[in-house]
Structure 1
Amino acid sequence: MAISPTGTASASAVGSQRLTGTLGAGSIVFMVVAAASPLTVIGGAAPLGILLGNGPGYPSMYAVAGLILLLFSVGLSAMSRVVPRPGAFFTYVGYGLGRKQGLGAAFLALLTYTTIQVAVYGYLGFSLNLALTNLGLPELPWWLYALAMIAFVGVLGYRHIELSSKVLGVLLVAEIGIVLVLAAVVMATGGAEGLSAAPFTPVNIFSGAPGVGLMMAIAGFIGFEATAIFRDEAKDPEKTIPRATYAAVLLIGLFYTFGGWALVMAWGPSQVVQAAAEDPGAMIVVTAANYLGSAGAIAINVLLLTSLFACVLSFHNVITRYQHSMAAAGTMPQLLADVHPRHLSPHKSSLAQTITATVLIVAFALLRMDPVLQVFTWLSGIATLAIVVLMAQTCLAVVAYFGRHSELTGGPWRTRIAPVLALVGLLAAGAVIVAYFPMLVGGGWGLSLALMATIPLTMAAGLLRGRYLERQDGAAYARITDAIAG
């Protein structure tokens, strides 16, 4: 990458390393909502939230989490308007709290998205093996299916982002559609005990372990905040990115809350915990069989698999663009910043991420780790806590940045009040996640502390990298917050 004497990218460099596209708000929303894997959350996480969290009051936790993240989106959108860079957490924390802190956030973001993606690969490999075995096919190791999915995702990720957005759009419409059909039938039949607002009453909201419920609800939102990463590929980023951010969190929050309510109504507030306890993994399939018949159960089974696939494809696109952004800023190998001349994609970054996922899955297979009880639960636990830490840092960065730049318009609500309220909510959620981390990962405090330690260690690695660049490569250090932009 050619650098001018001022430390900025030259025109030729920008031309070869800039991502371009015409993504509208709808396409970006499809990708980030697909990362949230809505059917997997309703079919897989919601039964566990009902069982381990606050029972029939669990759907209310989605509303609480949605409110916290909507407040967070206010500050995120304010930054996206005044900082024309595609690095999201990486860039915003760098502008608000300093370059080294920004690089620490970048490293932590890569840890977050990589762990959640590989966690889902493990779960997807297990689920594919189970589904095909039930159809009479011979049983194969879960990791073979996971590696096959990595290869498929790698092909899509190598090509232009429009192809991924179309695939994700089709899969997302299908999985949301089946849940809405199921909910409509539940409402039409009156559910098991009649329709009511029982999940939103105080007696149910505060029953059981609402802290666990909130923790699991926040985990279901991972990925919505990635809208800013697609800035360079958006049609009109100053309008598209804020619209996509608000639309994503509202759609996810409303869908989760409504889908969770329908699930409770399908079994009845007094019976739903018992139904979840019998077999939480099969609860959504049994519910579909009860209300939609065998065809509905089969459709749910198939769409649960495609939902997991959509999730890993979306996170692949997010990670490759994070790496591209960091490479363009000189903090990762420069080849990761290259853009394919025909596909206009960060193809080398995509290949690097495909290799990373492959190596991790092979390593877990050699260690004979269980794909669900270890790969999925351990890595998703790390990602859940890490994303809360990242968003809390971003809230601080918004307040700090606008505090130093009072000449920028935005108003106190967007630049101070909403970010501070979001920060309070995120800190409370973070404390709950730490307290219940052993339950989340299914192990004791020794394992939990070891897994949680990856978060400060990763941030420290980013800070040390920033310090090294500050001393050894001043031009690269100056570019930490200047990822390629239009």
Structure 2
Amino acid sequence: MTERTIPAQGRRLTGRLGTAGIVFMVIAAAAPLTVIGGNMPLAMGIGNGAGAPVGFLIAALVLLLFSIGFVTMTPYVPEAGAFFSYVTVGLGQRMGKGVAVVALITYTAIQVGIYGYIGWAMANTVGFYHGPEIPWPIYSFAVLLIVALLGYRHIELSAKVLGVALVLEIGIVVLLDLAIVSSPGPAGLTLAPFQPDVFTHGALGIAVLFALTGFIGFEATAVFRDEARDPERTIPRATYAAVLIIGAFYALTCWAFVVALGPDQVAAVAQRTLAGDGNMLLDTTEASLGRLGRDVVNVLLLTSLFACVLSFHNVIARYQFVLAGKGLLPDRLATVHPRHHSPAFSSLVQTVTAAVILGVLVILGIDPLVGVFGSMAGVATVGMVLLMLATSVAVLTYFARHREQAGGRIWQTRIAPALACLGLLASMWLVLTNFTLVTGGSATLSTVLAAVPFVGLLLGALAWRPARSISETVQR
């Protein structure tokens, strides 16, 4: 069955996702177990050790401030597209096109990173249970094919798959946290992570970097606008809920691991994990919940990674769909499948793109965890901070030009977005000044990787053809 092509201004995806469904999609992209098993050891091992929970709190505060302006502007951007749409309305088409390129780079980078992580995790799991030695890329490409199949179909199928996986992984982590708190490690229920001399020791910027990476995808609430039941209420609720749930969950769990291992030992344990000598998440789980608990978490870690990569696949496919509808990508990407009502062709293109990039990294012999996941997460974090910074500036600019729509809401339209800009600038400085620790490579390699999102912004602003006007869809 062929896809249908309809006029650019009439292309719409459909669905009846409620607040809970969208929050599931977004938190699945945040992938709680993935962050705990991957980002947390990185934040502790090469960051600030026992002070890592503060990195998650800083990230949550900055993103909460960002969300205030983001959702306040939502009624005036009545189309899917997230950062691209907001920046285009606030700062014009040229900047909007640049942001569109940065968004594609950001989401593609983190998705490829997760493919590397899940390949490593599956190979590690099979090896732990004395299974056959199969190279990690085989697992990665197998997952890619399954994601391609689900991404081709209607979004509600993906939402159901993600919802089940998410409930299970959150449930086991809450159980693990409770077990740790009820039987703490050698230092007891310590609050040391929140002491200034602890969280400022080491590289706080690294902790903030990997904390921010853990939130990537939360703004996708706006990408699912056309598939939401009542976007005017659903999108703001889902955005705030996602930030608060993700932030609290990460910070509390990170603190629980400090309690379990002790402030003096947690960094060393994390470093051994990064070196391949142990597994911080699974070893701690076994100590608290026994071998059965370890086995359950091991399985749910894999489902978490799968849910994460599926969610990012859906986000990228819809971003391409929206950009094609605006004439910024080939029109074929804006076709809707007649039976599945999904951006099927865009989904297929995204599958091919991820496969090619992953294939290149495999050929180059890049390590799947630190090399693929760590470096790609770094690129994605720089891109995400840049996207949010541009969006916050767009919010300030838009309401400065449309004072009647601001309606005296000074906190939502001026103060919060301005504070978000300051917080994002500080976060960017912390990330960039510590970027060599993330890549583990030379200063030259680190500079090149960190520059990728900025180069994408420049090329997008200068090289792309004019977008189709969105003035008909934006309240002036």
Normalised-by-shorter TM-score class? over 0.9
> AA paired with 1:429?
S
- The answer to whether the 8 A contact 2:9-2:325 is kept is no
- Structure 1: 5+ residue stretches without partners: 1-9, 470-476
Structure 1 residue 380, shift from structure 2 partner: 1.6
Corresponding residue number in structure 2 for 1:360: 357
> AA paired with 1:262?
A
Q: Determine whether 1:105 maps to 2:99.
A: yes
Structure 1 residue 25, shift from structure 2 partner: 0.8
Structure 1 residue 11, shift from structure 2 partner: 8.8
Corresponding residue number in structure 1 for 2:377: 380
Structure 1 residue 37, shift from structure 2 partner: 1.3
Give the share of equivalent positions with the same residue, in percent. Answer: 51
Q: Determine whether 1:250 maps to 2:248.
A: no
Corresponding residue number in structure 1 for 2:220: 226
**Equivalent residue pairs, number:** 467
Deviates more, 1:373-382 or 1:317-326: 373-382
What is the TM-score of this pair, normalised by structure 1? 0.92
What do the CA deviations read for 1:155-208 (whole angstroms, capped 9, x no partner)? 111111011011111111111111110111112224432213222222322222
Closer, same or farther: CA 483–382 of 1 in aligned 2, 3 Å:
farther
Corresponding residue number in structure 2 for 1:341: 338
- The answer to whether the 8 A contact 2:46-2:437 is kept is no
Corresponding residue number in structure 1 for 2:111: 117
Deviates more, 1:149-158 or 1:181-190: 181-190
Closer, same or farther: CA 14–94 of 1 in aligned 2, 3 Å:
closer
Corresponding residue number in structure 2 for 1:290: 287
Which secondary structure does the structure 1 equivalent of 2:264 belong to? coil
Q: Give the CA RMSD over aligned residues.
A: 2.0
Corresponding residue number in structure 2 for 1:318: 315
Structure 1 residue 65, shift from structure 2 partner: 0.9
Corresponding residue number in structure 1 for 2:469: 479
- The answer to whether the 8 A contact 1:85-1:482 is kept is no
Closer, same or farther: CA 272–456 of 1 in aligned 2, 3 Å:
closer
> AA paired with 2:77?
V
- The answer to whether the 8 A contact 2:114-2:305 is kept is yes
Closer, same or farther: CA 361–277 of 1 in aligned 2, 3 Å:
closer
- The answer to whether the 8 A contact 1:37-1:310 is kept is yes
Q: Determine whether 1:400 maps to 2:375.
A: no
> AA paired with 2:83?
F
What is the TM-score of this pair, normalised by structure 2? 0.94
Corresponding residue number in structure 2 for 1:7: none
Which secondary structure does the structure 2 equivalent of 1:229 belong to? coil
Provide the C-alpha distance between the structure 1 equivalents of 2:7 and 2:359, rounded to a whole number of angstroms. 39
- The answer to whether the 8 A contact 1:72-1:422 is kept is yes
Which secondary structure does the structure 1 equivalent of 2:403 belong to? coil
Corresponding residue number in structure 2 for 1:3: none
Closer, same or farther: CA 108–29 of 1 in aligned 2, 3 Å:
same
Provide the C-alpha distance between the structure 2 equivalents of 1:399 and 1:432, rounded to a whole number of angstroms. 24
Provide the C-alpha distance between the structure 2 equivalents of 1:197 and 1:344, rounded to a whole number of angstroms. 50
- The answer to whether the 8 A contact 1:112-1:387 is kept is yes
- The answer to whether the 8 A contact 2:77-2:474 is kept is no
Q: Determine whether 1:80 maps to 2:81.
A: no
Provide the C-alpha distance between the structure 2 equivalents of 1:112 and 1:327, rounded to a whole number of angstroms. 18
Structure 1 residue 14, shift from structure 2 partner: 5.2
Corresponding residue number in structure 1 for 2:440: 442
Provide the C-alpha distance between the structure 1 equivalents of 2:248 and 2:76, rounded to a whole number of angstroms. 29
- The answer to whether the 8 A contact 1:330-1:479 is kept is no
Closer, same or farther: CA 258–127 of 1 in aligned 2, 3 Å:
same
1:178-197 equivalent positions in 2, closer than 5 A: 178-197=172-191
- The answer to whether the 8 A contact 1:331-1:480 is kept is no
Corresponding residue number in structure 2 for 1:303: 300
What do the CA deviations read for 1:38-87 (whole angstroms, capped 9, x no partner)? 11212222223223222222112211110010000001101112211111
Provide the C-alpha distance between the structure 2 equivalents of 1:66 and 1:177, rounded to a whole number of angstroms. 21
